[in-house]
Amino acid sequence: MKKISVIMPSYNDAVSIVETLDSLIEQDYTNWELVIVDDGSTDNTKEVIQKYKEEKDKENKITYLYQQNADQLNAILNGLDHTDGDFIFILHSDDLINEKDSFTKCVAYMEEHPEITEIIGDLTTIDENSNYTGMQRVNDYKKEHYVLPLQLLWLGRNLFIDVAFHRRETFIKKVKENYVKWNTPFWMNFKAKESIEMLNVKKVDFSFYKYRIFSGNYVNSYKGKLNVINGELRTLVGLMKFYNIPAYRFQYLVYRTFNKLGLFNLYRPIYQKKEQQEKGTVVEFVIKKRFGEEYKKNRFLKVLVDFYQKQTDREVVLDKEIDADFVYQGKDNAKFNNALLADDLNEIYLRMFDEMEQGFSKVIVKNEKEKEKIENILRFLCVYPFVEVKIKEGV
């Protein structure tokens, strides 16, 4: 019997977490382990979990970890190191597993289809009181040539869903890097600036996840939107390296109409396999869809538009050593945005903002270690695909 490793990031969900845990221990598939990563909760989450473990006699199946608040992707990354299952499943502490036989169905499907690396399904939606509110339909996943250009056309927003049942090997080798570390869709494997691979995902005909939707959801807040758009923009610019969508805005409006009518599978974008033209127009259009003209009040979003609108062949030389503690990855969105809004960003980001405002295409650093740091910073700032990083000659 293969083992399922469940990773549960949690933040101040003491009220809902017991119901979430119940949906796990009631599964008729019993070979699972749970790693809960408390992301700096200020409520009594720890006490609730400890009491639950004792009352349900699950000390040997449930591990509790605590970390200083660093957001959910860092929590998932932390939890992953404490798992050894054949499958990985991320269960948020305010959501539920849908039915008692969900794990049985998931494992059975994966066993019957060894070529499939992940499965996804429609979401059953519930409110803050766990009342059924409907179904969130997920697009059928197709590993076809037009899907990646369509992902570019869809503003970098995930065409499918984040919730999935993963094979461990694929999660460790591909999903961990793209989804967990860099906050891009799990089903896309960015291979640096060279290519993009689609994983072997299948949408199943059963719902295995209950998703709680309510007005207080974090993603509806300003900070939540900033964290979300960072990943969307990283996805967008990564795709712009390989695909050009002519008449981007017009095609977006057409596709949006198809999508609203439930005709996702019928739409085929017009595209070319070459670098996106009018990058600045596309990037600004995407940002405005989230923030309107207010985006100009956010320094990062403003200079990002400047960078793509100018696209100058300018060289930036970095002589100072970069502090490794401030080299953010996609998983560190919250930390970056907190510092940005508090006007407390490290000097390297302020320097790069100034450079982005003018536009550049090349960065020169003094050694390999600094090259790796600045490449991560450029990737975080969503300009990496269009910047060459070189080591200074004669150093």
pLDDT reported for residue 221: 80
User: Mean pLDDT of all residues in the chain?
Assistant: 95
Place of tokens 């320097």: 351
Task: Give how far the C-alpha of residue 30 lies from the chain's centroid of Cα atoms, to the nearest Å.
Answer: 29
Q: Pairing relation of β-strands 188-191 and 195-198?
A: antiparallel
Which amino acid belongs to residue 55? E
Element (H, E) at 19: helix 17-25
**Which one has a higher pLDDT value, 219 or 79?**
79
DSSP letter, residue 392: P
Q: What is the DSSP letter of 174?
A: I
Question: Sorting pLDDT into bands at 50, 70 and 90, what band is 394?
Answer: low
Q: What average pLDDT does this structure show over 262-279? A: 94
**CA 361/CA 388 separation, integer angstroms:** 6
Helices 368-380 and 347-358: angle between axes, nearest 10 degrees:
70
Using 50, 70 and 90 to split pLDDT, how confident is the model at 395?
A: low
Residue type present at position 310: K
187 class by beta-carbon count within 10 Å (0-12 exposed, 13-18 middle, 19+ buried): buried
Checking if the pLDDT of 218 tops 70, the result is no
Tell me the per-residue pLDDT of 344-383, one tens digit each, with 9 for 90 and over: 999 999 999 999 999 999 999 999 999 999 999 999 999 9
Confidence of residue 222 (pLDDT cuts 50, 70, 90): confident
Across the range 69-93, mean pLDDT stands at 97
pLDDT score recorded for residue 288: 97
* CA dihedral over 386, 192, 376, 162, signed as positive or negative: positive
What are 91-117's pLDDT values in tens digits?
999 999 999 999 999 999 999 999 999
The CATH architecture to which 4-218 belongs is Alpha-Beta Complex (3.90)
Domain locations in the chain? 4-218
pLDDT above 80: residue 215? no
**Chain centroid offset of residue 232 CA:** 8
pLDDT, tens digit, 9 for 90 and up, residues 137-174: 999 999 999 999 999 999 999 999 999 999 999 999 99
Parallel, antiparallel or unpaired: strands 362-365 and 388-391: parallel
- Quick one: what percent of the chain has pLDDT higher than 90? 93
